[in-house]
């Protein structure tokens, strides 16, 4: 799927946040309210960027972008500490300082991954709820279809029974009419025989 270019602005913002964190105090574990609030805000921004990246770029593609941002930021931080150690006030323990700045960038990037994970979990939960609702709708439609089919079958059975009853009634009427016609025909034949017999007797008497 082609992603809109504006969606990459969130990744650019996260890159800026990771880059800007390099200019903060190196006392990460210092127990001070000001340091804690600054890192909390940065972590919150990184979390929000991760959330937006997952929403816009997706879990797979967004994860690749997030990983690239973290690696690039850590690499830039290493170069900055190596080249501009005087600016940062770092005169000794170069390797330890490079590791420290790299871990700072990785830590903030991990908050971005955490935001992506939370966003993905919510998305999966919403999809499950939607699928559950769709399943319930399908079940409801299936039950309605079964009920309608049952009603149609019952109506068809009633109509069939009605037609059968009418046919049986018609057959009974036809049978009765046939019997009446046969009876009348027999009576007519008997009358004709009596008339012929009377006619022959009269003819013989004459």
Would residue 71 count as lying in a domain? yes
Closest-CA residue to 109 (of 64, 57, 50): 50
Cβ within 8 Å of residue 49, ≥6 positions away: 10, 11, 13, 14, 17, 112, 115
Closest-CA residue to 18 (of 92, 94, 74, 86): 74
Would residue 123 count as lying in a domain? yes
If one compares 1 and 37, the residue with the highest pLDDT of the two is 37
CA distances from 164 to 48, 75, 154, 172 (A): 74, 90, 15, 12
Would residue 157 count as lying in a domain? no
pLDDT tens readout for residues 2-48: 556 777 888 888 888 887 777 765 554 444 455 667 778 888 888 88
Would residue 76 count as lying in a domain? yes
pTM for the structure as a whole: 0.53
The domain tally of the chain equals 1
Would residue 177 count as lying in a domain? no
Closest-CA residue to 18 (of 91, 52, 68): 68
Which H or E run includes 67?
helix 59-83
- Domain membership of residue 119 as a residue range: 5-146
Contact yes or no for 14/46 (Cβ under 8 A): yes
Q: Kindly report the length of the chain.
A: 206
The C-alpha atoms of residue 60 and residue 127 are separated, in whole angstroms, by 17
Would residue 121 count as lying in a domain? yes
Would residue 134 count as lying in a domain? yes
State the distance between the two ends of the chain, measured CA to CA, in whole angstroms.
123
Residue for token digits 């990771």? 18
pLDDT tens readout for residues 109-161: 888 888 888 888 888 888 887 788 777 778 888 888 888 888 888 888 888 88
Would residue 117 count as lying in a domain? yes
Which H or E run includes 70?
helix 59-83
């Amino acid at each position: 799927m082609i992603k809109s270019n504006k969606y990459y602005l969130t990744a650019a913002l996260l890159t800026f946040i990771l880059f800007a964190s390099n200019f903060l105090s190196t006392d990460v574990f210092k127990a001070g309210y000001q340091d804690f609030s600054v890192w909390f805000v940065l972590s919150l921004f990184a979390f929000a960027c991760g959330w937006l990246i997952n929403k816009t770029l997706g879990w797979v593609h967004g994860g690749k972008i997030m990983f690239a941002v973290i690696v690039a930021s850590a690499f830039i931080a290493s170069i900055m500490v190596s080249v501009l150690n005087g600016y940062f006030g770092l005169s000794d323990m170069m390797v330890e300082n490079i590791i420290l700045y790299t871990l700072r960038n990785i830590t903030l990037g991990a908050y971005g991954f955490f935001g992506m994970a939370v966003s993905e979990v919510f998305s999966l939960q919403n999809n499950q709820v939607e699928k559950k609702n769709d399943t319930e709708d399908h079940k409801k439609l299936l039950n309605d279809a079964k009920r309608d089919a049952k009603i149609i079958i019952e109506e068809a059975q009633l109509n069939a029974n009605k037609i059968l009853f009418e046919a049986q009634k018609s057959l009974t009427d036809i049978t009765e009419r046939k019997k009446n016609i046969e009876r009348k025909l027999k009576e007519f034949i008997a009358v004709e025989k009596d008339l012929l017999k009377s006619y022959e007797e009269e003819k013989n008497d004459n």
